[in-house]
Structure 1
Amino acid sequence: MQKIIPNIWFNKNAEEAGQFYASAFPNATSSVGARYPETDLLDFQKDFAGQALVVNLEIEDYRLTFINAGPEFTPNPSISFMLNFDPVRFEGDADRARASLDQLWAALAEGGNVLMPLQEYPFSAHYGWVQDRYGVSWQLMLTDPAGEPRPFVIPSILFGSQAQNRAREAIEFYTSLFEDSRIGTLADYPAPTGPAQAGAVMFADFQLAGQWFAAMDNGAGEGFGFDCGVSLEVDCADQAEIDRFWEAMSAVPEAEQCGWLADKFGVSWQIVPANMDELMQRPDAFKHMMQMKKLVIADF
């Protein structure tokens, strides 16, 4: 089961976005996971009564959750999603893998913003980075089938702005917190590159709870900082696990709300019970949740 689920914030169009991605990605489905209640909403939420609250996107066996809310936050390239087009997944046919990549790139780039053109780079024969029409960032890569395989979707964390040159520290911190964690590839900048110091992380990937993530220090100088536009939801088995993650990770008291926290690097996390859907069916559960910082299962 996927323990860590990336959540993406949308401005009143999460259902539309889910339908778009389900049509653009092969083997993808979209569904409404929960709706806003009809009553007992706060004033700023009343326009959402009965509308989708969360939308679940399944890309193959990988889940993303879309939060249907207002304009308070928007995703940015500080957390993007690497898409590995490994020829092994196409019966060893690199041409089919490349054609599939090109087809998805065309869909994501339409109405979006190209951050790195789709072309050959030293690290990939065919790669591009695009921010799509909804502000979500994707890195599409034709991967070398040699070496240890990686999954199709990998969240990638770019450490810049106030977290510049802290990728190594963050990787060590995160892998110390989660079971079934390890570091895979780790490559350093050999010389200063933009704001990245020599010895900073040029690229790394690592596992948390058996899931792959990537990280790098920003070497280009764009001022992307972390916020709630993309957060990482951790599904916890019980209150003790919620308490443990909350105590270890929360570093910004003013960011604590409804199970959300910001860690010492600025990355947003949601520390929630694994049976959140069940808890939200209780009477007045939404109202109770809105009054909490750390989620307390007994108070739903």
Structure 2
Amino acid sequence: MDKVIPFLMFQDGKAEEAMNFYTSLIEDSEITSIVRYGSNEAGEEGTVFQATFTIKGQEFMCIDSNVKHAFSFTPSFSIYVACNTEEEIDELYGKLKEGGQTLMPLGNYGFSKKFGWLNDRFGVSWQINYV
């Protein structure tokens, strides 16, 4: 076994938009490869056949699914981010929350100084913690 990589499947041609959004929010993050569907292929031309990106060194893979599934992302799997300052958590949580859904608003829940859980506008779940 070489490695284990979280894999995100987008269903509405949003993979590239999501990667650009995530890598713009967190320093030391980048899109490392994109392979797109071409003309006359199974997916919509120009959408993501397969891509990889990193967030703070953690590698992810993603696709734009060419098949519409009856399921999407679930909060039972989330991306966990440990923030070093209160300013950092406030800014990141605020940007991820835009167009998304709050699961637990930023607050002190007794297990950390400040914690929040949300689904972003793409449906991906994030836990943001101020440690």
Specify the TM-score bucket, using the shorter chain as the normaliser.
0.7 to 0.9
Of 265, 270, 281 in structure 1, the residue corresponding to residue 127 of structure 2 is: 270
Give the Cα separation in 1 of the matches to 2:70 and 2:76. 15
Give the Cα separation in 2 of the matches to 1:242 and 1:189. 36
Tell me which stretches of 4 or more aligned residues in structure 1 moved more than 4 Å: none
In structure 2, what residue type is equivalent to 1:210? G
* Structure 2 SS opposite 1:157: strand
Give the Cα separation in 1 of the matches to 2:59 and 2:88. 21
The residue that corresponds to 1:232 in the other structure is 79
* Structure 2 SS opposite 1:270: strand
Alignment of 1:63-78 (within 5 A): none
The residue that corresponds to 1:11 in the other structure is none
* Structure 2 SS opposite 1:244: helix
The residue that corresponds to 2:62 in the other structure is 215
Of 153, 157, 175 in structure 1, the residue corresponding to residue 23 of structure 2 is: 175
Give the Cα separation in 2 of the matches to 1:172 and 1:252. 16
Point out the structure with max Rg over C-alpha.
1
Query: What's the CA shift string for 1:84-133, capped at 9, x where partnerless?
Result: x34xxxxxxxxxxxxxxxxxxxxxxxxxxxxxxxxxxxxxxxxxxxxxxx
Alignment of 1:114-125 (within 5 A): none
Query: What's the CA shift string for 1:36-73, capped at 9, x where partnerless?
Result: xxxxxxxxxxxxxxxxxxxxxxxxxxxxxxxxxxxxxx
- Of structures 1 and 2, the one scoring higher in RCO (CA 8 A, sep 6+) is 2
The residue that corresponds to 2:44 in the other structure is 197
When the two chains are superposed, the root-mean-square deviation of aligned CA atoms in Å is 1.7
Q: Residues 255 and 262 of structure 1 are in contact (CA less than 8 Å); yes or no, is this contact kept in structure 2?
A: yes
Give the Cα separation in 1 of the matches to 2:52 and 2:101. 30
Task: Structure 2: state its 5+ residue gaps.
Answer: 106-115
The size of the alignment, in residue pairs, is 120
More helix by share: 1
Task: Structure 1: state its 5+ residue gaps.
Answer: 1-84, 87-151, 275-300
The residue that corresponds to 1:187 in the other structure is 35
Give the Cα separation in 1 of the matches to 2:9 and 2:49. 10
Q: Residues 207 and 213 of structure 1 are in contact (CA less than 8 Å); yes or no, is this contact kept in structure 2?
A: yes
Deviation at 1:190, TM superposition (A): 1.0
Deviation at 1:252, TM superposition (A): 5.1
* Structure 2 SS opposite 1:255: strand
